[in-house]
Structure 1
Amino acid sequence: MNTASPSPPRLLPVWAGLLLAALSGVLTACSFIPVDWSGCVWIGFLPLLTALWYGPRRQGRKGALAYALYGWLFGVAYYGISFWWVNEVSTLGYIPLMIFYGGLFPGVWALVMGVFFRPDAQPLPDARQTGTDRRAAWKAWAMADMLPSAAAALGGAALWVCLEWVRGWLIPGFGWNNLGVALYGNPLAQWAEYTGVTTLAFIPVVFSIWLWRVCRRAGTMVVHEGRRTVPWDFFSLVSVLLVMFVVGVLWTARYSPQSGTATGNGKWTVPVMTVQLNLSQKEKWDAANRGAVYRALLDTTEQGLLDLQARTLEEAARNGTEASLDLPSWVIWPESSFPISTFYRDSTGELFPEQDNVNFLSAEEDYVQAIRNNLGNFILLTGTDDIYLSDEGRVARAYNCLTVFEGDYSTARPHAKAMLVPFGEYIPMRETFPFLEKAFEASAGTAMGLNYTPGASTEPVPVPIRPGSSVTVGVIPLVCFEDVVGGWVRRFVRQEPQLMVNVTNDGWFNRSSANEQHWRNAAFRCIELRRSMVRAANTGVSVALAPNGAVIADLRDSSGSPFTRGVMNATLPVGCTEITLYAMLGDWAVLACFLLFAALLLRRMNKGKRNAGPVKDGVYRRGATPR
């Protein structure tokens, strides 16, 4: 029997660790749009873990710094690729955001995993043993590795979830492209109803860490023993995930667009039509285009209704049936659809007379009301910019709103956006640090304008299910990126028929992946809250989503691009009135992850140094005896 031991692994060069960390970041970024290889989320961490855990432990502050550096580079690559579209708004903002914020949290994660959760240096069985004793010794060695593997996987996954939550909490909306979002379309995503999308990240992270540990265990046994034992711990994890997958399949069917749960047994549906003009920011805000923008809103809406009628008649003729036209009850225009703000008197709340927007929605003028009279009545939901002026004519308040119009402008019911975009809708500490405004103008190429005022209401807006009906649906009003902040949206949930309506203008990001990523992140609000959503976008993606997150309809051209002008028609189910666990308790699972991580970290710290002796860092030595 050969008792010689192989050469111990050398310390991984820092440059090799950096390459592995960058590879991990690239793989993880590929899990998201525009690449959208969701399978990468299950293996994305493996190169980074190899950088952290291969070979002898790095010692002292330099070692800890190396681990943090690996995580930092992973984060810069991961978020730098995923959020490349930030360049479309501000390269000056993109660079520090990625360097300081994108790499910060993965850096912390890698530091903790490298210092506290690296594999224990378990002594290997004595190579001089033979027969049954040798097999029993290796089996015992493998069994002894299972509990530390579970602890490392659970602790690492819990820590990642906590750091992702902090990332989205410090800058609301920057929780965008959490690892859980990569599970969209996978039945496992349906568990967001209980935990929220942030905690869904636990699933791929725990899988990746456990897989790495099992591969290390199997590789060690194959190298030294020529065989391996069955990894019962990993099989148990896979079995749990399989059960979760099957349950997710059942939930996907339960909350599908045509299900009795979603439609209230067919009684609760709302036909809607969204209008998308696909205007660039320059076109949208050019004062010379105001008349053209109004005209485009009217013409696109009118043509959409005419096309719907024509398609209905053609289908009836083709099938030999009687035409049954389900006109849209609600017509939805995007965020800031009007090319100018609407002005109110701050002291009284009254509209100033003779404004373009007021005339546009006048009952007497031949504009929106004419379409209602000729083609069918509808309720208009649209984005508006509302500005309140003092008696001296100065701006007192300004709001970015989603506004409901059942008739002319006197029927306006605005809901002000609460989650404002820094350096998009306001400049933080603008008066204290004027250079921030100058930096924004230099980067964006345009002046910031006024700071918006955040709204505060979390009351749904009751909207008649059909024009003139006394039966209402509670609209959860969401403007711009509010639909990606689950902790905010859940506050609107009531035990009644509801529909999430998002109006957005993603034109700031031009034809980048931000537009597709936006709706993908927003889809998890449907799963978390079991409410349907309709999104009306200026530049795409206009989409209707079911309570299971599935696409009911979206607006795309013949090539599949969402950057097109037109309308989207969809009938949305609003019959689900359940209150989910996430709606009730929010990110309770993040707290559970924090407690789990804290317990496992304390356990590791209290054990102290282990495995002193002839076997060091898992390296097989001649004559080593099991302990």
Structure 2
Amino acid sequence: MANRSTQRILPWLLGLLSGLLLWAAWPTSPLTLLIFIAFIPLLRLTDLVQHRGVYFGCVFLAMLVWNVGTTWWVGNTPVPISGVLANVTNALIMTVPWLGFKNSRKRLGNRGSYFALIVYWLTFEYIHLNWELSWPWLNLGNVFAMHPEWIQWYEYTGGSGGALWVLGGNIALYACWQHRGDYKVPFSTFLWKEAWKPALVILLPFLVSTIVAVGMGMQVSRSSKASPLPIVVVQPNIDPYDKFASDAEGPQLQKFLALTRQQADSNTAYIVWPETALFPHGAWEHNLNEQLAVQKVRELLRQYPKARLITGATTLKYYKDKEEAPYSARPMENGGYFDAFNSALQIDTSRTIQVYHKSRLVPGVELVPYSRYLRFMESWALDMGGITGSYGRTPGAEVLENTAQHIKAFPTICYESIYGEFVAQHVRLGANLLFIITNDGWWGRTEGHRQHLQYARLRAIETRRWIARSANTGISCFITPAGKLQQPQPYWEEAVIKGNVTPGYTFTFYVRYGDLLSKGALIFCILLIVYTIVLRFTNRKAYVERS
């Protein structure tokens, strides 16, 4: 009786254990190495459980515990149900690769099904980076963000290389444990004969990272044709729930100007302000030069003639009729349509203002997924900036150009900085400096803003570009091309920092060719699905013929 009860509860304990290990390994926990055993309970679960409903339930439990433990803070908003829906939905989606793995066990055998698991998981992550329900916060490659010295080879693979490392390590360790019963030899002999395989899978990337880091250091010392640029980063520490008040815009602008003056000088090349620093209630793009805030900024910039201001802003674009307007545009009471954009501006002393529109939008907050097909869902949007419906996605400038100093800068806005290939595409367009402007204060003193900071280090490694990060409430800092943090400022404190960054002009393998691992996995995934369909059809035909 006790044995039967144990058998019933064991699968659920394995699912729970896997979820807890994944949570314990995730940034900003110091227990990162647990990631190499975190999936072993699910691999064992796959071998033990035959009932599909029980298997699905146990895998879903693992994914739910991981999601809730790691990103519970997404519900730390005025509408907590949004966080519940996000965690449950993401956990459901994350079960799909495991269901595919379970389905492939009998058809493909051990080795074939392990290969299928890697293919299915990498394909899932690639889709999760590119559709409108995108939430790649828990993509496996992000787990190593706190340890850039381990993953200098991300300049070749991007984050998908980290996912392959994690899955390969778990599979190798589990396969090694399974083979223990095949060897009637002392444990020390078994280690000599078998344990070197998972050790090689897990340890080799550490060695490769060291070699890549040494090579990068030698390359930098040989070719440094660019001069460092002095950059000022402002962290105003304005409560995001107060910044959109009707009477707050003027005092906030004065605060930005005063903080900037503390560090700016005649050599300053860029001044960086955070997301939605200007026009929290929106300003028409065709009329930006007439805005009082822009005029005040130009008065400041005349004191620092070399400087350009990179700042977040809410901008509006007008369309005369419905045919001209994109699907995200909303009707106006007096006729016409308008789009609202979460934007980045580059302002100098001329009358030219370059405008970049954020295109990777947060589902449910800035974007109602696939609302062009489900228009009734627009009313469900929870826009933190006070604008009902989805933000616009009409492209603005791809990069912000500074022709006087031969610089092209890419200003990733908040959530965009977790998309490796997206950032790499803009580096391929010529961006030699990266800025991250963000407003992480919505979630308070939770892991959200800390994880977001750590993920930025991956973008620096993948592209080998300096990053200047301005966060409204923190953590503002500079990040070297090797992923090291410089001058990180305390969260929820006012700060202004100055540092020198060097523009980059070479392309990494990842920048040049993109995420080849994920694209290869997608091709194999399609082939596996086709093979499964053909196999099922031929087996059915053989059964009919025998009957």
Equivalent residue number for residue 87 of structure 2? 98
Task: Give the aligned residue type for 2:475.
Answer: V
Is 1:550 aligned with 2:492?
no
Q: Are the equivalent residues in 2 in contact too, given 1:531–1:547 (CA < 8 A)?
A: yes
The DSSP-based 3-state class of the residue aligned with 1:567 is strand
Equivalent residue number for residue 324 of structure 2? none
Query: How many Å separate the matches in 1 of 2:282 and 2:380?
Result: 29
Equivalent residue number for residue 276 of structure 2? 336
Is 1:83 aligned with 2:74?
no
Provide Cα deviations, 1:492-515, integer angstroms capped at 9, x if missing partner: 124857011121112222222111
Task: Give the aligned residue type for 2:485.
Answer: V
Equivalent residue number for residue 173 of structure 2? 211
Unaligned runs of 5+ in 1: 1-8, 121-147, 310-325, 465-469, 557-561, 610-627
1:65 aligned residue (53, 56, 65):
53
The DSSP-based 3-state class of the residue aligned with 2:138 is coil
**Bigger-Rg structure (1/2):** 1
Q: Are the equivalent residues in 1 in contact too, given 2:172–2:201 (CA < 8 A)?
A: no
The DSSP-based 3-state class of the residue aligned with 1:72 is helix
2:129 aligned residue (168, 175, 178):
168
Q: Are the equivalent residues in 2 in contact too, given 1:165–1:590 (CA < 8 A)?
A: yes
2:33 aligned residue (39, 62, 65):
39
Is 1:463 aligned with 2:405?
no
The DSSP-based 3-state class of the residue aligned with 1:284 is coil
The DSSP-based 3-state class of the residue aligned with 1:531 is coil
Task: Give the aligned residue type for 2:355.
Answer: P
Is 1:359 aligned with 2:295?
yes
Q: Residues 209 and 600 from structure 1, CA distance in 2 versus in 1: closer, same or farther, beyond 3 angstroms?
A: farther
Equivalent residue number for residue 383 of structure 1? 312
Q: Are the equivalent residues in 2 in contact too, given 1:402–1:416 (CA < 8 A)?
A: yes
Is 1:116 aligned with 2:104?
yes
Equivalent residue number for residue 142 of structure 1? none
Equivalent residue number for residue 327 of structure 2? none
Q: Are the equivalent residues in 1 in contact too, given 2:156–2:509 (CA < 8 A)?
A: yes
Deviation at 1:336, TM superposition (A): 0.8
Task: Give the aligned residue type for 1:38.
Answer: T
Equivalent residue number for residue 518 of structure 2? 590
Q: How does 1:489-508 map to 2 (within 5 A)?
A: 489-494=423-428, 498-508=432-442
Q: Are the equivalent residues in 2 in contact too, given 1:495–1:579 (CA < 8 A)?
A: no
Deviation at 1:203, TM superposition (A): 0.7
Query: How many Å separate the matches in 2 of 1:445 and 1:482?
Result: 17
2:409 aligned residue (475, 498, 505):
475
Q: Residues 446 and 483 from structure 1, CA distance in 2 versus in 1: closer, same or farther, beyond 3 angstroms?
A: closer
Length-normalised TM-score, structure 2 = 0.83
Worse overlay, 85-94 or 21-30: 85-94
Deviation at 1:606, TM superposition (A): 7.1
Query: How many Å separate the matches in 1 of 2:281 and 2:384?
Result: 21
Query: How many Å separate the matches in 2 of 1:540 and 1:520?
Result: 13
Query: How many Å separate the matches in 2 of 1:98 and 1:497?
Result: 35
1:579 aligned residue (490, 507, 514):
507
Query: How many Å separate the matches in 2 of 1:52 and 1:36?
Result: 29
Query: How many Å separate the matches in 2 of 1:564 and 1:20?
Result: 42
The DSSP-based 3-state class of the residue aligned with 2:242 is helix
Equivalent residue number for residue 244 of structure 1? 205
Q: Residues 240 and 19 from structure 1, CA distance in 2 versus in 1: closer, same or farther, beyond 3 angstroms?
A: closer
Query: How many Å separate the matches in 2 of 1:596 and 1:228?
Result: 37
Is 1:271 aligned with 2:230?
yes
Query: How many Å separate the matches in 1 of 2:6 and 2:179?
Result: 19
Length-normalised TM-score, structure 1 = 0.73
Query: How many Å separate the matches in 2 of 1:351 and 1:550?
Result: 37
Worse overlay, 492-501 or 244-253: 492-501
Equivalent residue number for residue 329 of structure 2? none
Equivalent residue number for residue 16 of structure 1? 10
The DSSP-based 3-state class of the residue aligned with 1:160 is helix
The DSSP-based 3-state class of the residue aligned with 1:334 is coil
The DSSP-based 3-state class of the residue aligned with 2:435 is strand
1:538 aligned residue (468, 472, 483):
472
Query: How many Å separate the matches in 1 of 2:227 and 2:133?
Result: 33
Unaligned runs of 5+ in 2: 321-333, 540-547
Q: Are the equivalent residues in 1 in contact too, given 2:232–2:496 (CA < 8 A)?
A: yes
Query: How many Å separate the matches in 2 of 1:390 and 1:594?
Result: 39
Query: How many Å separate the matches in 2 of 1:96 and 1:302?
Result: 44
Equivalent residue number for residue 348 of structure 2? 406
Equivalent residue number for residue 522 of structure 1? 456
Is 1:296 aligned with 2:255?
yes
Task: Give the aligned residue type for 1:423.
Answer: G
Query: How many Å separate the matches in 2 of 1:445 and 1:194?
Result: 37
Deviation at 1:590, TM superposition (A): 1.5
Q: Are the equivalent residues in 1 in contact too, given 2:365–2:384 (CA < 8 A)?
A: no
The DSSP-based 3-state class of the residue aligned with 1:102 is helix
Query: How many Å separate the matches in 2 of 1:75 and 1:585?
Result: 32
Deviation at 1:149, TM superposition (A): 5.7
2:244 aligned residue (278, 282, 285):
285
Deviation at 1:234, TM superposition (A): 4.9
| Aligned residue pair count | 520
Query: How many Å separate the matches in 1 of 2:24 and 2:44?
Result: 19
Q: Are the equivalent residues in 1 in contact too, given 2:281–2:385 (CA < 8 A)?
A: no
Task: Give the aligned residue type for 1:216.
Answer: Q
Query: How many Å separate the matches in 2 of 1:503 and 1:496?
Result: 19
Task: Give the aligned residue type for 2:29.
Answer: V
Q: Residues 298 and 27 from structure 1, CA distance in 2 versus in 1: closer, same or farther, beyond 3 angstroms?
A: same
With a CA cutoff of 8 Å and minimum separation of 6, indicate the structure with the bigger relative contact order. 1
Deviation at 1:299, TM superposition (A): 1.7
Deviation at 1:566, TM superposition (A): 0.5
Equivalent residue number for residue 160 of structure 2? 198
Q: Residues 482 and 248 from structure 1, CA distance in 2 versus in 1: closer, same or farther, beyond 3 angstroms?
A: same
Q: Are the equivalent residues in 2 in contact too, given 1:280–1:510 (CA < 8 A)?
A: no
Task: Give the aligned residue type for 2:497.
Answer: M
The DSSP-based 3-state class of the residue aligned with 1:571 is strand
Equivalent residue number for residue 319 of structure 1? none
Equivalent residue number for residue 421 of structure 2? 487
Query: How many Å separate the matches in 2 of 1:119 and 1:50?
Result: 18
Query: How many Å separate the matches in 2 of 1:263 and 1:297?
Result: 39
Q: Are the equivalent residues in 1 in contact too, given 2:172–2:197 (CA < 8 A)?
A: no
Deviation at 1:330, TM superposition (A): 0.9
Q: Are the equivalent residues in 2 in contact too, given 1:149–1:210 (CA < 8 A)?
A: no
